[in-house]
């Protein structure tokens, strides 16, 4: 029902998106929290320190960022013809996926990182069939580097950038070199700032030790609630159906659509691998998956012949959001 409405009412969908996000975030607005910043990435720690006195503002910023990212995902999908339709369903799916865990209400660093990863993805996709793509390669690397300064595990998307250049572009060594300069530039400024303030050891401790070593990090310490298990089950079943749709789209697609789908598949893989660098094993730290999964899952939801299965899966995801918020 909801999927069909979004599919057939594009004009009203743009109004429904913020309303849906408000409904899903009732708990967050009623119970605003200040996130923990111990051992956090440098720019994230700086941002939160400036607004930690107003928890409701933190939730509002988180809300606005997710809404903007949802619209940006929709723009990227339509601009690059990743899905052969015009609908706001990818945006809605992204909103639901980014609302699964209550930690997102308090401006989790992945929310900020996702914005820069999306901007990098947009720049990367713009390189298709361009004779030269120097500025796009630089911007893509620069945005990934900024994402890392808010959330260190974003480092895995350096590999996505280079895989993307292989998939979309012919090999032009200058583009690779320029993308590397874009990656380095923000870190050069940051290292210089910490060196100047005689805090280089602090940067090394937070950015490396608590990312690569992470004392006490273990699967045995990961605790999952009933809602978490429900979400995992629904997401795994959804991924199974989505994989079938992916193979069908890939086999029948044009050269451009195939390269885009292959890029999304790599995005999905690297998003999963980011948990290795996360401070703990949890569903929250897999939220990078919300970007590629919202795109690939939307294709299944839109074109499956068994719409009742799609409606049930999507409804269960929405229900799990409220279970996670209001049932301990």
- 168: phi then psi, degrees, rounded to nearest 5: -95, -35
Q: CA-to-CA distance for 75 and 238, rounded, in angstroms?
A: 23
Q: Residue 41 CA to chain centroid, in angstroms? A: 17
157 and 117 Cβ atoms separated by less than 8 Å:
yes
Q: Residue 232's closest CA among 102, 119, 105, 101?
A: 101
Q: CA-to-CA distance for 14 and 73, rounded, in angstroms?
A: 13
Q: CA-to-CA distance for 110 and 230, rounded, in angstroms?
A: 22
Q: Which of 30-44, 76-90, 151-165, 190-204 has the highest mean pLDDT?
A: 151-165
> What range defines the domain where residue 69 resides?
2-326
Q: CA-to-CA distance for 325 and 314, rounded, in angstroms?
A: 18
Taking the whole predicted model, whether its pTM rises above 0.75 is answered as yes
| pLDDT at residue 242, rounded to an integer | 92
The DSSP 8-state label assigned to residue 81 in this structure reads: T
Domains in the chain: how many in total? 1
pLDDT digits (tens, 9 = 90+) for 189-238: 888 887 787 677 777 666 666 665 555 555 555 667 777 788 889 899 99
Where is pLDDT greater, at 289 or 228?
A: 289
Give me the residue label for tokens 């949890």: 282
pLDDT digits (tens, 9 = 90+) for 14-71: 888 899 999 999 988 888 888 887 777 888 888 998 888 899 999 999 999 999 999 9
| pLDDT at residue 103, rounded to an integer | 87
Mean pLDDT over the full length of the chain: 86
CA atoms within 13 Å, Cβ hemisphere of 273:
13
Q: CA-to-CA distance for 241 and 244, rounded, in angstroms?
A: 5
């Amino acid at each position: 029902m909801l999927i069909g409405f979004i599919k057939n009412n594009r004009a009203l969908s743009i109004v429904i998106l913020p309303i849906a996000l408000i409904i899903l975030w009732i708990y967050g607005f009623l119970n605003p929290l200040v996130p923990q910043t111990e051992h956090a990435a440098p720019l994230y720690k700086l941002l939160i320190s400036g607004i930690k006195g107003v928890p409701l503002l933190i939730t509002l910023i988180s809300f606005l960022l997710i809404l903007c990212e949802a619209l940006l995902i929709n723009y990227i999908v339509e601009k690059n013809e990743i899905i052969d339709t015009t609908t706001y369903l990818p945006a809605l799916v992204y909103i639901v996926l980014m609302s699964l865990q209550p930690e997102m209400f308090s401006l989790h660093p992945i929310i900020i990182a996702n914005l820069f990863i999306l901007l990098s993805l947009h720049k990367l996709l713009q390189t298709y069939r361009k004779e030269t793509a120097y500025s796009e390669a630089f911007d893509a690397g620069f945005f990934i580097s900024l994402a890392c300064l808010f959330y260190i595990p974003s480092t895995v998307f350096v590999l996505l950038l280079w895989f993307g250049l292989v998939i979309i572009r012919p090999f032009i060594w200058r583009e690779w070199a320029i993308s590397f300069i874009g990656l380095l530039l923000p870190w050069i400024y940051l290292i210089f700032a910490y060196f100047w303030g005689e805090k280089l050891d602090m940067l090394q401790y937070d950015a490396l030790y608590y990312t690569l070593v992470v004392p006490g990090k273990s699967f045995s310490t990961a605790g999952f609630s009933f809602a978490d298990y429900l979400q995992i089950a629904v997401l795994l079943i959804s991924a199974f159906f989505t994989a079938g749709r992916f193979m069908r789209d890939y086999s029948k697609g044009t050269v451009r659509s195939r390269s885009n789908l292959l890029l999304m598949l790599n995005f999905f893989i690297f998003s999963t691998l980011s948990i290795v660098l996360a401070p703990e094993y949890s569903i929250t730290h897999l939220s990078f998956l919300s970007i590629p999964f919202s795109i690939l899952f939307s294709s299944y939801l839109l074109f499956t012949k068994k719409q009742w299965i799609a409606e049930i899966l999507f409804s269960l995801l929405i229900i799990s959001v409220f279970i996670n918020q209001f049932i301990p």
